[in-house]
Structure 1
Amino acid sequence: MKWFQRFFSQFQFVAISALTTGVIVWLAASMQIMPSALPPQSQAPSSPLAELPASETPLSSATSDPTNTKPLYDDLPLLPHPSPAQTANAPTITSSNAAPSRTYFGHLPYAEDEKSRLVSVGEFVRGTYRRTEYLDQEAATAFSQLVAAAVEADLTLQPISGFRSVKDQEELFQKQVQKHGSEAAAAKLSAPPGYSEHHTGYAVDIADRNQPELDLKLAFADSTAYRWLTAHAGTYGFELSFPRNNAQRVSFEPWHWRYVGTQRAAVQFAIARR
C-alpha cells in the first residue's frame, strides 16, 4: 500500500511537470507566431485620395468671377455714319463744347453736333469763291430734298453757312464786336460763341445763287426765293428761326432756317419754339 502511494505521488509530480512544460511550450510557440501575423509597417495601404483616378480628384473652388460678360453698351444700336468721302473734308470740332446754361443777349445756348454726323450739303459759290458747307445727316437729307424741289420752281438755292464750331463762331463774333464797338451791339447781328443754332448742325443760312446781292440782307425777304421758302420749307421740316418780333428779340433774319423735322432735331430747339 505504501508502494502505491509513493508511485502515485511521483506520477502526480510528473503529470504536473509535463502539463506545465506543455503550457510553456505552447506560450513560446504563440509568441513566435503572433508577430508574423501582422503586416510590416512599410506595407501599409496608401491614402484613398492617392488611389483615385485623376478624373475623380475633387475640384477646387472658384477663385474669380467670369470674365466673358459683354458690356451693355456693346449691344446698343448705333446710328449709321456718313461715308468717308462725305466726312473727309468735314470741319474739325475741337471739343464737345457743352452748351452754357444761360441766355446771352437773347440768344439761347447750343452744343456742337458730333463730327461723325456732319454731311456735305453742297457749296456756297460767289464768283470764283467756293466753300463746302455741312449739316447734320438728318438735316442734310431734308435740305437736299428742299433744294431739288426749288429747282422745279426755277430757283437755285444754296447754303451760305451750315454747321459752325464754337471756334468758328468766336472768330465771327469778334469781328462784329470790333466793327460795332460792343458785344451787345454785335449780338444783334451775330450770336456769341456757344449760342448759335449753327452749332447744332440743324441750322442753315439759305441764298438764291442767282441773286448774290441779297445774301444775308433783309432785302432777301422781298425775293421770290424767300416767298417760296415761306410756302414750302415746312413741307421738308424747316422753319424760320428768327421771324419779325420773335420772342428772343433777335433781329429778323429771312435767310436763317432751322430743321425740326425729326425728334432729335426738334429737341435741339424745344426752348426756342415755346
Structure 2
Amino acid sequence: MSAAEVRSFWQSLDLPGLVDVHTHFMPKSVLDKVWAYFDAAGPPTGRPWPIAYREEEGERVRRLREFGVRAFTAMLYPHKPAMAAWLNSWAAGFAARTPDCLHTATFFPEPGAADYVARALDEGARVFKAHLQVGGYDPADPLLDEVWGLLAESGTPVVTHCGSGPVPGKHTGPGPIGAVLGRHPELPLVVAHMGLPEYGEFLDLAERYPRVRLDTTMAFTAFTERDNPFPTAELPRLRALQDRILLGTDFPNIPYPYADALHALAGLGLGPEWLRAVCHDNAAGLFGLPDA
C-alpha cells in the first residue's frame, strides 16, 4: 500500500499526478452497509472481498492525496426511492470541504428525480453515478428520461455500473443502457468497470457513440482476471479508444493495494502514451482541470 510506489508510477510517466474518476465517499451509515455487503460477498462471488482501505473518511482523503491523486469522485448511489436527494445533499457538503473531490451526485427512478438532478447541477455537480445493479432499476424507465436529457444537454458525465459483473442484475448488460443511448446519443456516459464481463459489447457502444467512455475500475487486475479476463483480441480496440478510457479504481472498496490497479494497466503493454492519457490527461480534459 506504499504511496511511494504509486507516486513512482505516475512520475515515471512525467504526469502531474493521477485523476481517479471512480472512488467512493458517502455518509458513514451508508458506507458501513456497503462494507458489510462486501464482507458477505463471498457466496455470490465465490471468494472473500477484503476492503483494503477500511479507514475513516479523513484518512481516506489523506491517502489519496498522498498517492498524488489530483482529483477524485464521491461515487454514491441509492437503492430505494427517497434516498438520492439526501445523498446529493451530503455529497455537496463533502465537495465543499474537499476541494479536490469532483462534486458528485446521483438519482433514482422516482417522481421528482429531474427536479433534484437539476438542483444538483445548479449547485455545481460535475459528475453523476448510476448503479443499475445495486439500484435494480431499468435505466430506460420513463421516470428517468428527463434526467438523462438533462445530463446529455449539460454535458455532465454519468459513471454507470451497467455491466453484469461481479453478479448480473435484472437490468445490467449492454441492452438496457444501449436503449438509453439510442434515445440520448449525446449522453456523456462512462461505463464503469469497462463493462465487465461484456467487454466487447460495451466497446461496441463506445465505437457507436462518440461521447461514451469507459473506466478501468478493477478491470485487468489479477483479482478480476481470474473470473472475467479481458479478451486479448480486444486490445487493439482499447488502443484505438485511447482518448476515451479513464482511470477508475473503486478505492477504498478494493481487495488489493491501489498500486495493483496501475501495474495492471501498465501490464497491458499499450505504451506510455496510452497510460498518460488514461491515468490523467483524458479525465483532466473532460473535467477541465487546471494545468498542474
TM value normalised by structure 1: 0.26
TM value normalised by structure 2: 0.25
Structure with bigger gyration radius: 1
Considering Cα pairs closer than 8 Å and 6+ residues apart, tell me whether 1 or 2 has the greater RCO: 2
